[in-house]
Structure 1
Amino acid sequence: MKKVLLALSVVGVLMTSCGTKKKLAECEAKNKEIQDLLNTATVKLNTCLAEKESLGSQIDYLKKNNADLINNMGNITTLSSKGAENLEKSLESMKEKDLKITRLQDALTRKDSVTLALVTSLKREVGINDPDIQVNVEKGVVFISISDKLLFKSGSYNVSDRAKEVLSKVAKVINSKPDFECMVEGHTDNVPYISNGVLLDNWDLSVKRSTSIIRVLTKDLGVPAKQLIAAGRSEYIPLVDNNTADNRAINRRTRIVIMPKIDQFYDMIEKEMKNMKN
């Protein structure tokens, strides 16, 4: 009997032990499942936290960028206003410069018109058709250049009869313009003048030829002496090199420089040039 009870007790313990192991296995499986879920949730949480931090940084950057843009807009508005003001001032300055340039060009045009009219008048009244007589304009002054072969014999300062014919036409022009001044310039070549006791060199010869012409203009042709100026330039302003006989003949000449009353135009030009520098 005792053996039977002991056997039943052992069977009962074994059955109870088997049920506990099964439950324990189930609990362990469940625990593993929960642990896996927890690990997954932790990973997701960490990811979310990282994304939140990143988004926070982006939000801070966007806020700062927005503030900078607002400030820049204010600066741009200020710069645009100043730029418009400076542009307006520059345009006004350009208009002033253009006006000064226009006035200067007008003055030069008027001066050139006066000079051109004078040249035309001289050519018409003198009746120049001789290649040894040239009328031109240099720096606003009119020059009548007459070859010495029409005026003097070689080495002489005595005016020829042919010269008096030419000078009579020049005198007519001078007499028609009493407000003008005329300078008579004598020019020689570079051949040294042999002193004859009266003239020492080419300087003397050039001046003597000038005064000889002036005497013809005043005494024979009625030109007022107060309009005339005597000048000698010797050999020092040649037109061409004195290396041939033909070139030396070109350099031997007399220039009658006619200076019209155009001072008001030069004064205007000088004033405008000074204004443009300011």
Structure 2
Amino acid sequence: MQKLLVWLLLLCCHCAALHSAAQKNSLSYSVVSIKPTRFPVEFTGVDENANGVHIIATVKSLIGYAAGVMPAAISCDKKVCGDQLYDLQAQVDSADIAAYQGLRKEQKGLLLQPIMKERFGLEIHRRSVSVPVYLLAPAKGGVRLVARPADAPRHTTREGDRLPDGIIGFRPNGLQGYGVSLCQLARTLTVGFVESIGQPVLCEGTDRRIYDFVLSWDDQDAKNQSSGPSEHGPTWSQIDASLNDQLGLHLVPSRKEMDGFAVDHLSPLSPN
């Protein structure tokens, strides 16, 4: 389940175009189970497999996955959507597996729309939504990263192969980047640490330079923590303190207007 919360990658998708693409195929989930669950929140997310999808999430996140937008772009009263977690498992027929594997992740999400309408009576409409975000901005002391010169030698693997630019590797206690832009770092923080950060991280400005860096958060040496480290990964304060101390970057709270959806109607879950 570490390939979690895939919908955070769909932030900039054009939902109308995807809907049209999904209509061109006749695929549908033939086996669907949705039931309330008491899984710990750290196990929430999306696990896509060869013939279907397994999601553990709130109904708001299920709507976001089906609509092709991040959950924050779904406007829904908390009294309506609530915090209840659901365990959703959906599969296509064996004859449709090859076609299903040819779908993009966004199109697989769209296959859940009729299920959400049938099981939750879901009705939504498109609207602009103000979403809380973090801006990856220079810290007070300035950025400590040094841009890689154009003629700098490339990094190589142990076998001597050259590494392409734009790689960010996950280490046991941090990240390591090779030829990475600040926007790539922001996207990695969004997708890789959603449970810690909780909302999208966007890059600020037009800096198109690339950098090599090592970012570490050691539980024993983490600074400026207001709470202890999580056993499932670094806390928000650890990530922000490490960005500040090591890279001269800071997560600045902000808001952004983006395309989203408002929930018009949602009923209690109907039986399987």
Report which of the two has the higher share of helix: 1
Question: TM-score range with shorter-chain normalisation?
Answer: under 0.3
Report which of the two has the higher share of strand: 2
* Greater RCO (CA < 8 Å, at least 6 residues apart): 2
